[in-house]
Amino acid sequence: MVEETRVSERSAPGARPDQDPRTTAVLILATLRDAGAHLGNLLRLARAEIRGNLRALASLVTLFGGALLLVLASLVLLLFALRDALAALIGDDALAALIVALPFLVAAAILTRLGLRRMSLRSSEG
């Protein structure tokens, strides 16, 4: 029959380890039982921490996504306001829209050219 004691417990308060009356098999079984209990506690703790981290990460992604959406909406409204202000100064809506869109067209052209150049370099390597 297996003795129901913990590994850390000794048979007598002042006993030395080599005077422990328990057999090696009993000590190994007690160690395995304690290790299993420790592993179970560790897995419960890890599960609780991961669950908390996932909740925090989900709320962080939601907050940053909402902030990004608001920034993009404000930039679009700013561009509309800039176009309307230029249209009021110039007197022509089409020319004001062209002036506001011109930096974006130039940036798109530069990025397209760089992308095509990079694709042609990769295709010549392989």
pTM of the model: 0.50
Residue 48: the pLDDT is: 87
Residue 13 pLDDT level (bands cut at 50, 70, 90) = low
Least-confidence region, from 15-19, 81-85, 92-96: 15-19
Where on the phi/psi map is residue 91: left (φ > 0), alpha (ψ -120 to 50), or beta? left
How many degrees, rounded to 5, is the angle at CA 59 between CA 53 and CA 60? Answer: 85
Q: Whole-angstrom Cα distance, residue 7 to residue 120?
A: 69
Domain ranges of the chain: 1-69
108-117: per-residue pLDDT in tens? Answer: 999 999 999 9
19-58: per-residue pLDDT in tens? Answer: 777 888 888 999 999 999 999 999 999 898 898 888 889 9
Tell me the average pLDDT of the chain: 86
Residue 82 pLDDT level (bands cut at 50, 70, 90) = very high
Residue 31: the pLDDT is: 92
* Of 70, 92, 113, nearest in space to 100 by CA: 92
